[in-house]
A = this chain, B = another copy of it.
């Protein structure tokens, strides 16, 4: 089943302890759609400026991602610069230029509006709500968010939480949103705000799932080759939603497998800069890692 993602497309500059790379293909919708494309037809909705290198779009097209919703407007593309410290778990944002993304208020094409699976990547909740309004037939609408919106847009955030089916956010954001320091409590408290399920991402430590009837945690796949964690969270979302859309259901059993697929897809992303880690991957590689992951958790 096709999956629509609305989010950012960016040019990233990344500094790690060993290497600096400039103007890489990045953005939440890029990592998400590339990861999701291993599982299901994926439609990307975003905006870029007139400085956008066409080869980036070609790379997405080559994976079969529908980029007809990627609008080019006058101005510069959203850019981000970040630095990772020794253990790769702590990052500092050095520079953010929203540029054309600042006025991004998408009007979805008719085909996109009819989607059943919708992912609202990190963005202002007001924009996420307006996208949601355009997709009244969405059976599964899941959103990502970040600390900025939790702090600055409480009212829209509250409305969004009442209207979406699932929320994906990281551990510090869950604590900020709920005021609970214990992640199990934070997860349940987030569920109580509306979504049917909540996924708390813990980076290299895996992810936790919460619904009214279920709580579980799955570890991340342990990779020794972490080159650049940028986009891991978005790739997680893409792998998870991609698998759900592929299966065409979001039963508890499917959701749990989707969480695992999200984690495994993300484990490839961190093994290279930008999409380098994911680009080398075929679906068989994900399945092979899934076999290893299942063995790892069996005892």
The answer to whether the Cβ of A87 comes within 8 Å of any Cβ in the partner chain is: yes
Contact B256 A184 (CB under 8 A): no
The 8 A CB mask of A239-273 against B (1 = contact, 0 = none) is 00000000000000100110010000000000000
Known contacts A181-B87, A181-B88, A297-B297; is A217 also within 8 Å of B217 by CB? no
Interface size class of A (residues with CB under 8 A): 20 to 34
Most chain B CB within 10 A, of A181, A202, A218, is at A181
Contact A184 B223 (CB under 8 A): yes
Determine how close the nearest CB of chain B comes to the CB of A171; give it in whole angstroms. Answer: 9
Determine how close the nearest CB of chain B comes to the CB of A187; give it in whole angstroms. Answer: 8
Complex Cα spacing A216 to B296, Å: 6
The answer to whether the Cβ of A69 comes within 8 Å of any Cβ in the partner chain is: no
Contact A217 B224 (CB under 8 A): no
List the 3 shortest-distance A-B pairs measured between CB atoms, nearest first. A205-B205, A184-B224, A256-B299
A-side interface residues toward B, CB under 8 Å? 17, 86-88, 175, 181-185, 188, 202, 204-206, 208, 215-220, 222-224, 226, 253, 256-257, 260, 296-299
Given contacts A17-B181, A208-B222, 8 further A-B contacts (CB under 8 A): A182-B226, A184-B223, A188-B224, A205-B219, A216-B296, A217-B219, A218-B219, A218-B297
Q: Can you name 25 A-B residue pairings with CB atoms under 8 Å?
A: A17-B181, A86-B181, A87-B175, A87-B182, A88-B181, A182-B224, A183-B204, A183-B222, A184-B222, A184-B224, A185-B224, A188-B224, A205-B205, A205-B206, A205-B219, A206-B219, A215-B222, A216-B222, A216-B297, A217-B220, A217-B222, A218-B297, A253-B299, A257-B299, A260-B299
